Structure 1
Amino acid sequence: MNNFKLLTILILSISFFSCGSNSDKKSSDFSLRTSENKKEFQLGEEVQVSVLNPKNKNIDSVSFYFEGEKLQAENGNFRTTINLNDYKLGNQPIEAHIFTEGEKQEVSSTIKLFNDTAPVSYTYEIVNSYPHDPEAYTQGLEFYNDTLYESIGQYGKSNLRKTDLETGKVYNQINLDDQYFGEGITILNGNIYQLTWREGEGLVYDLNKFEETGTFAYNESKEGWGLTNDGEKLYKSDGTEKIWILDPETLTETDFIQPAHHRGLSSKLNELEWVEGKIYANTYQKDGVAIINPENGAIEGLIDFRGLRDKVTQHDKLDVLNGIAYNPNSQKLYVTGKNWDKIFEVNIIEK
């Protein structure tokens, strides 16, 4: 065998043993079992969690954790019971720290926690309509002091606008660099925050001067979709099952909620708006808006906006519903879509 073949075999052997399958990582001797191996629960239910010990090792003690909270363990049986009352919804890990024979082993299992009631169904009535630029690929919409701000998307066409609702006139506009695809916006503490789609950063503007002052990086989230705030914190959607909560000073992602109804989780939540203590979120490519409890992610209502798109001028560029704006001064709600020539003031009515 020549030297070249020997070198090749040596390199392949090193690669196999060094990056094969984490062979140096010790697997646990234990695992967790939930009630009847059930993995999906609703608020108000109980879940019993027990440690499986197939090797019959001597266990000194077990500590259970759920949402960072240490739970009371029944050490005689090495199990615990979780009352699922005041927890966040979504995929939630249960962890156990097992102390055995002079060492600690950690194991985990994940359950899905859903809401305990179905969302309330709503429809709408049109109160008024106003002109909207049919060339505007609307990605974000927000009122501040009765003035409407809008984020426009598409590469090479993205911008931030300050507009008049009544006439559709654009007071001022900042064009984004061609590398950016504009997404959701929100206004807080004298700043306008604008997301970009896949560029991994958001843009910051001085509200009064209406000029860009900086950028901020995304952390765990990969994309920017919708953005809103509750007067203290920012909420950011990224197309996944999560709505991220951002620190208003550092703009880092500090936590998240996972919007869920009584049967499952929701994803592709796009434009966000804060409306009287709830998050309104439209689902991308759907004619509906979810009403979300920001404390635990529960989807408490669904607004059916089917038929609204038929009431705008039909043309080749016409796209989906996307744009929710609530004026807290007048307590009026407005919706529009990508390349729609109208913004609608609507009342929401329970079905």
Structure 2
Amino acid sequence: MGVALKKRSRRSTISLSSSRSSSSSSFSSSISSYSSLESNSFMKSIIFNRRMALILAAVSFLSLATLLYANSSSRLSASPSLFYSFEIVKEFPHDETAFTQGLLYGGNDTFYESTGLYGKSSVRRVHLQTGKVLDIHHMDKSYFGEGLTMSGERLLQVTWLTQTGFIYDKSTLNQLRTFTHHMKDGWGLATDGNIIFGSDGTSTLYKLDANTLKGIGETTVKYNDIEILYLNELEYINGEVWANIWMSDCIARISPKTGSVLGWILLHKLRQNLYASAHNEIDVLNGIAWDAQQKRLFVTGKLWPKLYEIKLQPLKEHYEDIVNVCQLRKAGNAY
């Protein structure tokens, strides 16, 4: 913005005394010139100050706008819906006859695994590097093994289509006793040490007291107001419950407090690669294990010949159509 100034014209003052000397006239002229110069400098100073004020105001406005945009971008980047792909860190052999229903890291490069199918269900301890079964407990043929977690020195397991669970000594895999839970069915289990989280194939994430195994709460898992059905095998990782979604190649990262899905892990390529290697008898992705000490993440699936250590890779893409990408279903209606 420019500032227009109009110079004021001055009329020379006529001397009343004709006897003024030429020196007085010259002095008066000098004073007049100095006053004019001083006035011009003063006005230039005003113009300069106004311009500086405008520049500072513009800079302040741009700084504020930049700050607001940065905050907005920060909020967007911290959105509760983030998407991840993966890179394979290492592949390990896995029993391709194991119908994996529960998986957890047991320390010292060993896993505990619960397997399903009537007549083939078991709880086992497996060596990571070789895939060799070190110990195994064969379940009664009337039970279909499902989710597994560890609470202290005990292993807890639930079973399909029942409200019966089993407790084992983790060192010997001897069955200690049974328990009854309040979930409609037994699918997945995980724990933070104080609370046992459970799933029953619905959109409900159950909470059981780790000592009494009595129900202490539950929450509905949702993503953008869509109920996420078929919550399957579970793992507790850094304050979140991670869940396989049955018949899906996706893992949902869930807030145990609110039930909101905080992120999605897209693992489609794992099963695609197995098919490409002529492993045509494999079933769905199922099995998440977390080595908290070494920060290692492992995944596998039912009847998969491999177990993978993976590292997550954030994706820049935002999947608006996550419903179809992960084959999700809305309660009561299939998309």
Contact kept in structure 2, 1:117 and 1:262, CA below 8 Å: no
For residue 304 of structure 1, the aligned residue among 251, 266, 280 is 266
Question: What TM-score do you get using the length of structure 2 for normalisation?
Answer: 0.68
User: 1:329 maps to which residue?
Assistant: 293
Residue type at the aligned position of 2:254: I
User: 2:100 maps to which residue?
Assistant: 138
For residue 306 of structure 2, the aligned residue among 315, 339, 342 is 342
Residue type at the aligned position of 2:306: K
User: 1:192 maps to which residue?
Assistant: 155
Contact kept in structure 2, 1:188 and 1:229, CA below 8 Å: yes
- Whole-angstrom CA distance in 2 between matches of 1:189 and 1:286: 31
Contact kept in structure 2, 1:200 and 1:223, CA below 8 Å: yes
- Whole-angstrom CA distance in 1 between matches of 2:80 and 2:105: 31
- Whole-angstrom CA distance in 1 between matches of 2:206 and 2:173: 26
1:232 paired to 2:194: yes
Residue type at the aligned position of 1:237: S
Contact kept in structure 2, 1:268 and 1:284, CA below 8 Å: yes
Contact kept in structure 2, 1:118 and 1:262, CA below 8 Å: no
Residue type at the aligned position of 1:268: Y
Contact kept in structure 2, 1:271 and 1:281, CA below 8 Å: yes
After superposition, give the CA deviation of every residue in 1:129-168 in whole Å (9 maximum; x if it has no partner).
0000110000000012232000000000000010101000
User: 1:173 maps to which residue?
Assistant: 136
Contact kept in structure 2, 1:272 and 1:280, CA below 8 Å: yes
User: 2:210 maps to which residue?
Assistant: 248
Residues 251-330 of structure 1 aligned to structure 2 (within 5 Å): 251-312=213-274, 313-330=277-294
User: 1:222 maps to which residue?
Assistant: 184
1:263 deviates by: 3.1
- Whole-angstrom CA distance in 2 between matches of 1:275 and 1:164: 22
1:255 deviates by: 0.6
User: 1:17 maps to which residue?
Assistant: none
After superposition, give the CA deviation of every residue in 1:58-79 in whole Å (9 maximum; x if it has no partner).
xxxxxxxxxxxxxxxxxxxxxx
- Whole-angstrom CA distance in 2 between matches of 1:265 and 1:199: 23
Residues 95-134 of structure 1 aligned to structure 2 (within 5 Å): 117=79, 119-134=81-96
- Whole-angstrom CA distance in 1 between matches of 2:132 and 2:232: 25
Partner of 1:302: helix, strand, or coil?
strand
- Whole-angstrom CA distance in 2 between matches of 1:339 and 1:294: 29
Question: What TM-score do you get using the length of structure 1 for normalisation?
Answer: 0.65
Pick closer, same or farther for the CA change 1:184–1:314 going to 2, 3 Å. farther
Partner of 1:273: helix, strand, or coil?
strand
Residue type at the aligned position of 1:136: A
Contact kept in structure 1, 2:193 and 2:210, CA below 8 Å: no
- Whole-angstrom CA distance in 2 between matches of 1:145 and 1:125: 23
Partner of 1:319: helix, strand, or coil?
coil
Larger Rg: 2
1:316 deviates by: 4.8
- Whole-angstrom CA distance in 2 between matches of 1:268 and 1:251: 22
- Whole-angstrom CA distance in 2 between matches of 1:203 and 1:314: 36
1:248 deviates by: 1.3
- Whole-angstrom CA distance in 2 between matches of 1:326 and 1:248: 19
For residue 204 of structure 1, the aligned residue among 156, 159, 167 is 167
- Higher share in helix: 2
Partner of 1:307: helix, strand, or coil?
helix
- Whole-angstrom CA distance in 2 between matches of 1:275 and 1:249: 20
Structure 2 spans left out of the alignment, 5+ residues: 1-77, 316-335
Structure 1 spans left out of the alignment, 5+ residues: 1-115
1:264 deviates by: 1.4
User: 2:60 maps to which residue?
Assistant: none
Partner of 2:95: helix, strand, or coil?
coil
User: 1:57 maps to which residue?
Assistant: none
- Percent of residue pairs identical: 38
Contact kept in structure 1, 2:124 and 2:173, CA below 8 Å: no
After superposition, give the CA deviation of every residue in 1:239-270 in whole Å (9 maximum; x if it has no partner).
11111101112212221121112231211010
Pick closer, same or farther for the CA change 1:117–1:331 going to 2, 3 Å. closer
After superposition, give the CA deviation of every residue in 1:20-63 in whole Å (9 maximum; x if it has no partner).
xxxxxxxxxxxxxxxxxxxxxxxxxxxxxxxxxxxxxxxxxxxx
Contact kept in structure 2, 1:121 and 1:302, CA below 8 Å: yes
- Whole-angstrom CA distance in 2 between matches of 1:315 and 1:334: 20
Partner of 1:329: helix, strand, or coil?
coil
- Whole-angstrom CA distance in 2 between matches of 1:178 and 1:122: 39
Residue type at the aligned position of 1:346: I
Over aligned residue pairs, what C-alpha RMSD do you find? 1.4
- Whole-angstrom CA distance in 1 between matches of 2:202 and 2:133: 33
1:237 deviates by: 0.3
